[in-house]
Amino acid sequence: MWEKISTFLSEVRAEFTRVIWPTRDDLVNSTTVVVVFSIAFSLFIGLFDLILSFVRGILIDL
């Protein structure tokens, strides 16, 4: 069992040496895209919810 764990850990270490880590600029750009998209999507969902609530209120008052 310990041999399997040791083999696994050595393979993990070998894979980490092959990983191409993003540069700081790439990371900042990706994070900016995710944050902007999340804000835009939440505004869209909030506006859609507001419109549906307004329509529901009109329909209930009839």
pLDDT at 25: 97
Q: What is the pLDDT at residue 62?
A: 76
Cβ atoms of residues 30 and 22 within 8 Å: yes
Percent of the chain with pLDDT over 90: 92
Q: Which residues, in sequence order, are CB contacts of 30 under 8 Å at separation 6+?
A: 22
Say if residue 55's pLDDT is above 80: yes
Mean pLDDT, residues 23-33: 97
pLDDT at 13: 95
